[in-house]
Amino acid sequence: MPLNEPSESIANLTKPQLYSLYDENIVSPEESFAVLQKADNKDIANRDKAKFKYKSKVGKFNKIVSNVIIFALMGNIYSSLLANLHDYKISFYRNEQSNSILTNSLEGIFCGLITPLIDWLLGLNTCENDLVKIFRICNAMLGVIFGVRKIQWTSSLQGSIAWFLLNFILWLFFDGTPSLFIISSFLSYLTGLYHYSVSNEWSEVIYLIDFYFLGLIIFGKIGRYLFR
């Protein structure tokens, strides 16, 4: 037996009395340090993961709040465009109650959130929206409103029907998704049905349907872009 190797009896005498209760590696400083370091690294990783989740939730909340503010501003801007159709006497719609900043803001928020919300609930895969397409349809909207006002129609009903047909072309050219068409058609129809009880003029009702349909298309595309 080599001299530098202790005998079994001597080794047993030098061991602590409670040594048998523990694992043999418990007295190894290298193993103890490795275990502690692994546990510490795990705690750090868990803290970083929790911090990332918190920042992610805060970022999503800030994004929703900023988008809601954008839709509220857009609601007031888009609602003011209806004044350009005063040549066709759509004055019954613009009263002090319906023309308030709060009402216009709520309408803008609703129109901006409804399309991406339904897309998310139904799990629909929509086409990508970019700023170029949004700018193009906004320019088309301004052209439509300017044309409706400036072109000399033989009757208000003729102008409203022409805009109605043009809206379908705008949707087909700038979007083409069935979900946005169904949402815009349904909500604009409900709006027209409600205002028909106020005014029995079909031309005025169709103008409102056209106005809301085009607005829902634009707000829907912007909503999809902001919540992409």
Domain count, the chain: 1
Phi (first) and psi of residue 151, to 5 degrees: -70, 135
| Structural domain that includes position 181 | 45-226
Q: What is the pLDDT of residue 198?
A: 75
In a domain, 128, yes or no: yes
Q: What is the pLDDT of residue 184?
A: 93
Q: What is the pLDDT of residue 87?
A: 52
Amino acid letter for position 24: E
In a domain, 105, yes or no: yes
Q: What is the pLDDT of residue 153?
A: 75
Q: What is the pLDDT of residue 187?
A: 93
pLDDT tens for the chain, 228 residues: list them: 454 555 555 455 455 554 555 555 554 555 555 655 666 666 666 665 666 565 677 788 888 899 999 999 999 888 887 766 655 445 445 554 556 888 889 999 999 999 999 988 888 776 666 788 888 888 888 888 777 777 777 777 888 888 888 899 889 888 888 889 999 999 999 988 888 887 777 878 888 888 899 999 999 999 988 888
Query: Rounded to whole angstroms, how far apart are CA atoms 92 and 94?
Result: 6
In a domain, 117, yes or no: yes
Query: Rounded to whole angstroms, how far apart are CA atoms 191 and 93?
Result: 11
In a domain, 24, yes or no: no
